[in-house]
Amino acid sequence: MTKHNDSNTPRRLESKERPSLDVLKKNIETELGNTSDIRTRECTVGEQMIPAVLVWIDGMVNSIDLNSNVLSPIISKSVELDMSPENKQALKLLSHSILTATETTAVTTPAQATSLMVEGWTIILIEGHNAMVAVNTLGFETRSIDEPSSANVIRGPRDGFVESIAMNISLIRRRVRSKQIRVESQTLGSISHTKIALLYVEDRVDRKVLEEVRKRVSKIDIDAVLESHYIEEMIKDSPWSLFPTVYSTERPDDVAGLILDGQVAILVDGTPFVLVLPCTLFHLLKTTEDLYLAYPVATFVRWIRFVGFLLTLLLPATYVGILIFHPEMVPPQLLSSILSARDGVPFPILLEALLMELTFEGLREASVRMPRSVGSAISIVGALVIGESAVQAGIISSPSVIIVAGTAISSFTIPSNSLSGSIRILKFVMLIFASILGLYGIIIGLFIVGIHLSAIKSVGMPYLAPFAPFKKDEAIRSFIRLPWFIQRNKR
């Protein structure tokens, strides 16, 4: 009787320490809330034909990798192994000698297993073993590499970032094939567990900027990061400012050039928009294509952008301020034409300008939200039809239509969408100042904007650099695109 009890005692302990395959599988399904997209595949392993189950989440794994690197080796090669529960090295031998996947690890709890499954891993459960083998089989459908939709490429590479962080890193590495590139990965979002990566060139990055970016990213506490703008708002300087202090782009060649200049890029899984720090006002008015054009042409185009920036901000306000407070500044013949065109218009100049600007902003938003095939038609036809009809009906004057059209064209010369949006808002503020004090109000508004711009920074760099503080060489390069034979050693 004693011998019988002694022989059964180890079996009872073993049963408690080694849950059955069904229990392990049930624990994982319970941990995931019995979601319907869990997939399983039963098989046998080892010379003892021990039952095993592969568990993964449908749509998160690459089926080819799963079949060729996990399932096929287990079925065809594992018969040579001793997979009995008594063999403590069984799982290690399976990982090192049978599975051909690039990354495997051992997990001991359902929580660890499910954390990897939601990232695209496959879990291998084997009867009689407490531990489980996790295999990286991540591979879901992604958008093909194509020209970025937010930036029209005239000359230069026509590939853009996609929603896969691994692919985006490779697009940068294809351009900067240096061992000095560093990638620091981490996860943000207590629920989304979104992967992000800091990317920089070790021997060129500003160490103070890098440490500040690391510090700000590490302090982010958020449930989910679904797009890079989530991070942008939480790490930017002067969060209440209208001006963007973080640069975002879809172009790999743009990011490659910026990290070569010593800046830090932040890549976020699930979005094609990459963030770059630090960011200044004059950087937002330049484009990567300036480096691909002949330097006289690139300089001329850059000056047009600067003029367009000022016209977007000041043209409506100047029109309203001069006509209300300083009509003597307008040549008599031109003033007579404007006044005759306004004859019969029921609205004051300020209200007329506001209505026209708001109408155009509505048309712009409508064209963005409409299907691409009809969006451009709506913006063009809408502007022509509404403007012409309103002039003929005597609701608005033709000079106001010209001013609004000029302002709209000028706003399209600003390469950064974030900066363009900020200036489009500020033009309404300048309109109010001009309607109260005329040109004096515009000057006061410019002083306020200038003081604000000189006060904000981007991870320690003044927003108006290199003009405040003034650095001669960099200031010249901001206004003039120097030829490569001059600037090649200064980059």
Q: State whether 371 and 323 are in the same domain.
A: yes
Q: How many residues does the chain have?
A: 491
Q: State whether 61 and 96 are in the same domain.
A: yes
Q: State whether 66 and 177 are in the same domain.
A: no
Provide block-wise average pLDDT over 10 residues at a time, the chain (491 residues). Answer: 40 50 89 89 85 90 89 83 80 87 90 90 89 88 77 81 91 91 92 92 92 94 92 90 92 93 93 94 89 89 94 94 91 89 86 88 78 62 71 83 89 90 94 93 95 92 90 86 72 47
Sign (positive or negative) of CA dihedral 239, 244, 247, 251: positive
Q: Which of the listed residues 253, 279, 305 is the one where a domain comes to its end?
A: 279
For the residues of 250-281, what is the DSSP string, one character each? S-HHHHHHHHHTT-EEEEETT-SPEEEES--H
Instruction: Give the pLDDT score at 13.
Output: 35
User: Is position 150 within any domain?
Assistant: no
Q: State whether 457 and 403 are in the same domain.
A: yes
Residue 207: φ, ψ to 5°? -60, -35
Instruction: Give the pLDDT score at 443.
Output: 95
Q: State whether 54 and 78 are in the same domain.
A: yes
User: Is position 404 within any domain?
Assistant: yes
Q: State whether 327 and 475 are in the same domain.
A: yes
Q: Which of the listed residues 279, 311, 339 is the one where a domain comes to its end?
A: 279
User: Is position 145 within any domain?
Assistant: no
In total, how many domains does the chain have? Answer: 3
pTM of the shown model: 0.83
Residue 199: φ, ψ to 5°? -130, 130
User: Is position 144 within any domain?
Assistant: no
Element holding 424 (H helix, E strand): helix 417-437
What is the end-to-end Cα distance of the chain in Å, rounded?
87
Count Cβ neighbours within 10 Å for each residue of 468-478 and write b for 16 or more, e otherwise.
Answer: eeeeeeeeebb
User: What span, in angstroms and rounded, lies between the C-alpha atoms of 486 and 464?
Assistant: 24
User: What span, in angstroms and rounded, lies between the C-alpha atoms of 259 and 277?
Assistant: 9
User: Is position 151 within any domain?
Assistant: no
User: What span, in angstroms and rounded, lies between the C-alpha atoms of 111 and 117?
Assistant: 10
322: β partners: none
Count Cβ neighbours within 10 Å for each residue of 241-253 and write b for 16 or more, e otherwise.
Answer: ebbbbbbbbbbbb
User: What span, in angstroms and rounded, lies between the C-alpha atoms of 25 and 54?
Assistant: 9
Q: State whether 395 and 261 are in the same domain.
A: no
Q: State whether 431 and 456 are in the same domain.
A: yes
Q: State whether 469 and 380 are in the same domain.
A: yes
Instruction: Give the pLDDT score at 6.
Output: 42
Distances (CA, A) of 318 to 271, 304, 346, 444: 40, 19, 21, 13
User: Is position 160 within any domain?
Assistant: no
Q: State whether 399 and 337 are in the same domain.
A: yes
Q: State whether 375 and 408 are in the same domain.
A: yes
Domain extent for 113 = 2-136
User: What span, in angstroms and rounded, lies between the C-alpha atoms of 200 and 215?
Assistant: 16
Element holding 125 (H helix, E strand): strand 121-126
User: Is position 449 within any domain?
Assistant: yes
How many Å separate Cα 289 from the centre of its chain? 20
User: Is position 367 within any domain?
Assistant: yes
Instruction: Give the pLDDT score at 396.
Output: 84
Token pair of 479, please? 């206004």
Sign (positive or negative) of CA dihedral 64, 66, 68, 71: negative
Q: State whether 83 and 39 are in the same domain.
A: yes
Instruction: Give the pLDDT score at 202.
Output: 92
Decide if 176 contacts 259 (C-beta within 8 A).
yes
User: What span, in angstroms and rounded, lies between the C-alpha atoms of 24 and 53?
Assistant: 10
Radius of gyration of the chain, Cα coordinates, nearest whole angstrom = 32
Those residues with Cβ within 8 angstroms of residue 207's Cβ, 6 or more apart along the chain or in another chain: none
